[in-house]
């Protein structure tokens, strides 16, 4: 199982549970809620304490999956060949 696929299985969409917003499998906790907690400075341990239905793998998925999906969605920028590439004429 690839790294992305491993984390994708932790996050699901269930219209009847969360209005189709991504949630963690087997819970009612939304991905948005966990990301907001982390963005506000909560540690993974604090998130797990606040949401006991989550597993450590869920918090890890919240941290890693957006980055992995970004790599799949957006192409990598071209490499810079030299400092001259930064010079504005």
Q: State pLDDT tens for residues 13-71.
A: 888 887 888 899 999 999 999 999 999 999 999 999 999 999 999 999 999 887 766 66
Tell whether 55 is covered by a domain: yes
Q: What count of residues does the chain have?
A: 89
Q: Terminus-to-terminus CA distance in the chain, angstroms?
A: 48
Highest mean pLDDT: which range of 3-7, 40-44, 81-85: 40-44
Tell whether 14 is covered by a domain: yes
Tell whether 47 is covered by a domain: yes
| DSSP letter string, 21-58 | -EEETTS--BHHHHHHHHHTT--HHHHHHH-TT--HHH
Q: Which pLDDT belongs to residue 4?
A: 58
pTM, to two decimals:
0.70
CATH number, position 21: 1.10.10.10
Q: Which pLDDT belongs to residue 67?
A: 74
Tell whether 86 is covered by a domain: no
Q: Which pLDDT belongs to residue 42?
A: 96
Tell whether 89 is covered by a domain: no
The parent domain of residue 10 ranges over 3-69
Domain count, the chain: 1
């Amino acid at each position: 199982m690839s790294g992305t696929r491993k984390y994708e299985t932790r996050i699901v969409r269930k219209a009847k549970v969360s209005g189709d917003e991504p949630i963690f499998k087997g819970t009612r906790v939304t991905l948005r809620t966990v990301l907001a907690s982390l963005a506000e400075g909560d540690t993974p341990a604090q998130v797990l304490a606040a949401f006991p239905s989550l597993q450590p793998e869920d918090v890890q998925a919240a941290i890693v999956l957006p980055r992995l999906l970004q790599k799949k969605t957006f192409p990598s920028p071209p490499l810079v060949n030299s400092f001259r590439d930064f010079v504005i004429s």
